[in-house]
Every structure is written in structure tokens, then in C-alpha cells.
Structure 1
Amino acid sequence: MSNCINKIVVASHNAGKVREINALLKKQSIQTISLKNFNEPVETGLTFIENSILKSRNASIKTNFPAIADDSGLCVPILDNEPGIYSARWAGRKKDFNLAMNKIERKMRKVCDMKKKDRKAFFVCALSLYFPDHTYKVFEGKIHGHLQFPPKGANGFGYDPIFVPVGFSKTFGEMKHNFKEKISHRAKAFQKLMQYLKKI
């Protein structure tokens, strides 16, 4: 692990994301700093990468520490990769992901017969590390799978209860946290981040 970075701001107010990120960084002996006292910027980017950089840049400028931000979402090919960067917004102001999952199912039933080939989906994670000197790095992770209705499992967060990764029969929502953290899109992006930190 690099001696250059021992504290990183986690630029998110999403409790599920923060828990996952903290667990991954703790393994590398990196202390995390909460962003709870700062507002997150409006996500005006048109891609996961743009939104991730917006968030990490904002956090780094406000705290003068390196900051990491994750912008991630679910993409459903048969829905032209919706909800995509709008994954969180589909849950509404109350962050009701049951509402969002129902919306996906309704939209899918309008355009397909819900066979497994029609239910393909993938999660994307764009993880950015922004430094106080305004340099940054971006690391991407992706995991493919299919959607399962009705939702299953109370673990995880967001769309986890409807996503079954390739090679598995359980949804992310049914998997234990420590197992999901090894295979998820976020874990893949973090592996790239950790490889980078070891080099600097």
C-alpha cells in the first residue's frame, strides 16, 4: 500500500455505498473520512465517469484531502440501457427502490416476453480518485447478469434484489455482504484502484 495516502474522503451520502467502500478501504489500512457535513453536487454529467468526477472533485476541494466517489448504475439493454446514470433518480425523492424495480419490470413487460435472454443486464461502477492538486484517476468495473422478478433478498441496497450475476443463481440481495464485495462491479473498480495506490 502506498505511504502517500492514508486518509481518503468517501464522497457519498448513500449508506450502502459508504459501507461497501469503507470495508474495501479498511482492508488496505486507509482511514476514511465522512462527507456527511457537506452537500453532494448536482449530478449534471452525461456519463458515469463525469458524475463520479463531479462528486470526488467537490469533496476534495471542500476538505483538501484526496477523495473517492463512485457513480454506478444498472443498465438494461432491452430498455436502451436504462436506467443507467439515472438509476438513483428512478427511485424518486424517497429513494424507494421497490418503486424503481417495479418501474423496470413494467417497462420490460411492454417490450418483451421476459425470457432470460430479454432480461440481460449489467451494473457499471465508475470510481474516481481526486487529489487536492486537481489531478485525478478513474477506474471502471462492470458485472453482467440478468434480472429476476419478483425481487429476492434483503441484503445489499438499490437494485441488488433483482440482479443475478452470471455464474450464480442468487441475486445480489441474497448474497452475504462480504461475498458480494468480492465479485461486484464496485469490487472490480476497487481492485484497479488498489493496484494504482500500490504503485504511487
Structure 2
Amino acid sequence: MFFETLLLATGNRGKYEEFRAMLPDSFVGRLLFAPEVGALVVDETGDTYAVNAMLKARAWARASGLPSLADDSGLEVAALEWGPGVRSARIVEGTDEDRNRWLLGGMAGRKDRRARFVAALALSIPGAWTLVCEGDCPGRLAEHPSGEGGFGYDPLFLPDGFDVSFAALPAAVKNAISHRAAALRVLQELLSCEGSSGDSPHAVDV
């Protein structure tokens, strides 16, 4: 399935740059950054990534009349009862650095540093259907932040198989193994297998 124009329903420039790098030319011709299209505030009231991604994708599809792709993602930490989860970006008011300090404080003295990033993607076609899928990336938390790239909790997350953080990995490597990359692969597989039919078992009516 090819989209001549696709709107990415996020205000996060870092996410936009990641998706622009990950989405192949065979999938989308032009990827639009939502704030450059219009102003729309979508309340993320869901208690799952999938619901929040669907809320954003549907709202932007209705407002813009364009196929819209949204993600909702978060960090889940074993020692924190798999939190902060869907509240990852809102667990502390302030900057990414403030949230990383909160996370390090919560991990003080804890030996179990297992963690995973999880992402849900929702693709909404105006007036037709919305497709939702998920992906994850397992890893562990570092004791100190490192790296200059990425955003969010990237400086503290060491993906399985690597001894450096998401923020220290080359962008091409991160974009191949990340939770968003995993979810995107699922999305592309579903679209390839099921085409644009609205009766897909993975699609819900708008």
C-alpha cells in the first residue's frame, strides 16, 4: 500500500525525524509534520498505548482529511512494576532531563534493571478505517545517561545486545531495532497481507 501523502500526528520533532528515516519511499511519498499542517490538541485519555494512538490518528485524519499515522509509546521498567508506561511523557512535568532524573531516583539501589520500550501505531484513513498494531524493544537501564542523540529516556536505555544507550547508537541502528521500528514492520506486513480492505480483522471502523 502506498500513500502519496501521509500526516504524522505528533508534535514531537524527534519522532517525526525518526519516522521520516524509517518509512521507505515505497510506503509514502511525502510525510507531513502535524504542527506544520494545523493546530490540534488531542487529549490522551486512554489507559493503553493503542487507544491513545488511535485517538490521535483519528482526530488528525478527521481534521485534515488526510491519512494519518500516530504513535503512542512509553518505557516500562520491571522494578517499577512496569511503569511509567503510558504516563512516561507525563510522569514528571518539565524536560526530558527532569524525567530521566526522576527515573534514576526511582531506580536507586535496585538490582533488577530490566526495561522495555513499547510503541503502538495507529493508521487512520478518513471516513474508512483505523489500523492499530504494537511493537517493543527489550533492554535494561543504565546507571548514568550517555549519548547525545535521541530524546526522552533514550540516554538511559540499553537495548538487548548492545552496551551503549539508544542515545549513543547511530541513528540508523536505533531506527532498525527500536520499538517504533518493530511496530512499523508489523503495520507494513498487515497492509501488505490485507491491502486496504476495511474488513480487516485488525482494523476498526472510524
Give your verdict on TM over 0.5.
yes
Corresponding residue for 1:88? 89
C-alpha deviation, 1:114, in angstroms:
2.9
Which letter does structure 1 place at the counterpart of 2:20?
Answer: N
Q: 1:127 to 1:84 in 2, by over 3 A?
A: same
Alpha-carbon offset, residue 172 of structure 1 = 0.3
Partner of 1:64: 65
Whichever residue aligns with residue 34 of structure 2, its letter is L
Task: Summarize the alignment of residues 29-178 of structure 1 with structure 2, pairs less than 5 Å apart.
Answer: 29-30=27-28, 31-36=30-35, 37-92=38-93, 94=94, 96-109=95-108, 113-115=109-111, 118-178=112-172
The C-alpha deviation readout for 1:46-96, integer Å capped at 9, x for no partner, is 11111000100011000111111000000112111111111111352x4x1
Question: Which amino acid is the alignment partner of residue 96 of structure 2?
Answer: F
Q: Which amino acid aligns with 1:46?
A: D
Higher normalized helix content (fraction of residues) = 1
Assess if the C-alpha contact under 8 Å between 2:122 and 2:133 holds in 1.
yes
2:71 maps to amino acid = D
SS at 1:89 equivalent: coil
- Name the structure 1 match of 2:204: none
Cα deviation for residue 150 of structure 1 reads 1.1
What is the aligned-residue identity percentage? 35
- Structure 1: segments with no counterpart, 5+ residues: none
**Structure 1: how far apart are the matches of 2:92 and 2:20?**
24
TM normalised by structure 2 equals 0.88
Gaps of 5+ in 2: 196-206
What is the total number of aligned residue pairs between the two structures?
191
TM-score by length of 1: 0.90
Q: Distance in 1 between matches of 2:91 and 2:14?
A: 17
- Structure 1 window deviating more from structure 2 (19-28 vs 138-147): it is 19-28
2:61 alignment partner AA: S
Question: Aligned-pair RMSD on alpha carbons?
Answer: 1.4
Q: Could you tell me whether the CA contact under 8 Å between 1:91 and 1:98 is conserved in 2?
A: no
Alpha-carbon distance in 2 for matches of 1:184, 1:27: 20
- CA positional deviation for 1:40: 3.1
1:188 Cα offset (Å):
0.5
Amino acid at match of 1:114: R
